[in-house]
Amino acid sequence: MNQFGIPILSVIVFLPLAGAIPIMFFRRSDTLLIRTWTLMVSLVEFVISLGLILGFQTGIGSPQFVEQVLWVPSLGIQYDLGIDGVSLAMVLLTTFLTAIAVIGSWNAMDTERCKEYAGFLLLLETGVLGSFVALDLVLFFAFWEAMLVPAYLLVGTCGGRRRIYAAYKFFLYTAVGSLLMLVGILAVYVLHIQQGGAPTFDAITLAQSPIPANFQLWVFLAFALAFAIKVPIWPLHTWLPDLYTETPLAAMVLVTMLVKVGAYGFIRFAIPLFPAAAVTLAPIVAALGLVGIIYAGVSAFVQRDFVMVIAYSSIAHLGFIVLGIFEFNHQALEGAVVQMVNHGISAGGLFLIAGMIYARTKSTSFESLGGVGAKWPILGVFGLVAMLSSVGLPGLNGFVGEFLIVYGTFVTRTAYAVVAALGIIIAAVYLLTMFRRAMHGPVHPSLTGPDLTGREVLVLVPLVLLMVGIGLYPAPLLNSLEASVDQVNGHVQTVQAIPSAQVALTGVRR
């Protein structure tokens, strides 16, 4: 319990689930009722989550608002929830983007699949939120798996022409990673008991247990592969463009949070549990992040579809996040978390812009676009701000995260920082090219209909305000992250890398 007198984290996690249940009993033809109910649930959820800000204490790196109840006493499994600065940012971002996704999907939900669309969206929110607040490894794994089902069904039921292929590919990739993580969880649990510890899956307790360095390496790889697939890190990224292009575009605003759970998993579990292995493998993981930045940037430049450019741009931005996490530098890690927030805002805005274009033209191919800014100037202005945010223009949110990551990387690995800076230049090239091809030039004949409606402006304005607000005054966000970032880096600052003789047995060298 906490100062609010209620288990507020449980309320936040399970309110969307509770809101999804009545949707099953609504008539399929009552689309207005379903949309209104879903919007009301998402807005109430967001307002409740804002209460966390009132009770959150900056300067404390340990979990707050903790709720802890024995779930399976004989195995030490607990219903254990709590948040720090990192998870607070992710929770607020998730509840905010869910409300934005519902408003942005208002017309898209006016179909015969309205029940499924709304229900799966709310169920997905519960899975994502649970993953961000779970402190028990089994509970985290349960929420991790719970995310897959509604995401799979949302894409497979309401997606585009190749939705079945995209849904299967996403599910199979992430299921393999989940199985490896489960094996890793059980291995840590058994080792803890063998060392004389009481049965527990509590991540904080297990992080304080002595884990042999050579054992850390193998179990870290099990966790890391699961998180790397979800991020995704190159070359495990191929499911993401398919999922992004086949998911309903307005729903992508929330679906982008799936990849954040992978990055969050590194911060919350993989690094604190296995710091020696994380330090040893950091150059390799960071290098894979760099490869992803350059590869995705080049791939984005040759795409012929607005959404595909956003998809590969996301892979590049996630490469920056991975790079920042594995520099074990305060500024870089802080920048990585800020960039996680920024990606949700910027990519969410671009996906909404793409959805609004698609609603008018039934296409996001550059061959069917051109002159969008001249035909619909209001849409063009919002598209310009979202694009510049993603580019990292000073004064907008994207600049803050990228600057901190590159600066922190420059301190620890200068060569990596130079490559990352090259990735920023490449991003400017492909995003400006995307904007030119879609927004400028002669007006394409397929562009018909009015400019943005009041509802569409309403859904974009909050995103633009956050882009500008974080860009001009990031201090509140950075202050909330300070202690949590120090806590994570503290795990690796007190360990040495795995001895080279042990590393050589695994074929991995520092």
Give the pLDDT confidence of 145-168 residue by residue, as tens digits: 888 888 888 888 877 788 888 888
Section 277-295 average pLDDT? 92
Beta bridge partners of 64: 83
Taking alpha carbons only, the member of 500, 86, 496 closest to residue 278 is 496
Beta bridge partners of 79: 69
Yes or no: say if 344 and 260 are a contact pair by the CB < 8 Å rule: yes
Confidence of residue 443 (pLDDT cuts 50, 70, 90): confident
Q: Which of 13-17, 258-262, 282-286 has the lowest mean pLDDT?
A: 258-262
Question: What's the CA gap between 464 and 383, in Å, rounded?
Answer: 10
Residue linked to tokens 């550059």: 366
Yes or no: say if 340 and 487 are a contact pair by the CB < 8 Å rule: no
pLDDT value of position 79: 93
pLDDT value of position 488: 85
* Amino acid at the residue 271: I
Residue 128 clears pLDDT 70, i.e. is over it:
yes
Beta bridge partners of 67: 81
Taking alpha carbons only, the member of 59, 222, 243 closest to residue 160 is 243
pLDDT value of position 3: 59
Q: Which of 11-25, 135-149, 198-212 has the lowest mean pLDDT?
A: 198-212
**Please, which residues have CB within 8 angstroms of residue 453's CB and are 6 or more apart in sequence?**
none
Residue 499 clears pLDDT 60, i.e. is over it:
no
502 assigned to some structural domain = no
477 assigned to some structural domain = yes
Yes or no: say if 471 and 397 are a contact pair by the CB < 8 Å rule: yes
- Residue 329 has what DSSP assignment? -
Residue 2, number of CB atoms within 10 A of its CB: 15
Structural element, H or E, at residue 176: helix 163-194
Total-model pTM? 0.90
| Residues 223-272: tens digit of each pLDDT | 999 999 988 888 888 888 888 888 777 677 777 788 889 999 999 999 99
434 assigned to some structural domain = yes
- % of residues, the chain, pLDDT over 90: 46
19 assigned to some structural domain = no
Domain of 420 in residue numbering reads as 274-495
Residue 311, number of CB atoms within 10 A of its CB: 24
Question: What's the CA gap between 270 and 247, in Å, rounded?
Answer: 29
382 assigned to some structural domain = yes
Section 55-84 average pLDDT? 89
Q: How many domains does the chain have?
A: 1
Question: What's the CA gap between 106 and 275, in Å, rounded?
Answer: 45
pLDDT value of position 32: 87
Question: What's the CA gap between 440 and 141, in Å, rounded?
Answer: 47
Residue 467 clears pLDDT 60, i.e. is over it:
yes
Section 284-311 average pLDDT? 91
Higher pLDDT: 497 or 429? It is 429
Question: What's the CA gap between 241 and 310, in Å, rounded?
Answer: 9
Residue linked to tokens 């509970």: 139
Section 335-356 average pLDDT? 91
259 assigned to some structural domain = no
- Buried b or exposed e, range 349-364, using 16+ CB within 10 angstroms: bbbbbbbbbbebbeeb
pLDDT value of position 1: 52
Residue 339 clears pLDDT 90, i.e. is over it:
yes
Confidence of residue 475 (pLDDT cuts 50, 70, 90): very high
pLDDT value of position 114: 83
Question: What's the CA gap between 191 and 212, in Å, rounded?
Answer: 10
Section 285-297 average pLDDT? 93
108 assigned to some structural domain = no
Beta bridge partners of 69: 79
- CA angle 127–129–131, rounded 5-degree value: 70
292 assigned to some structural domain = yes
- CA angle 249–254–256, rounded 5-degree value: 85
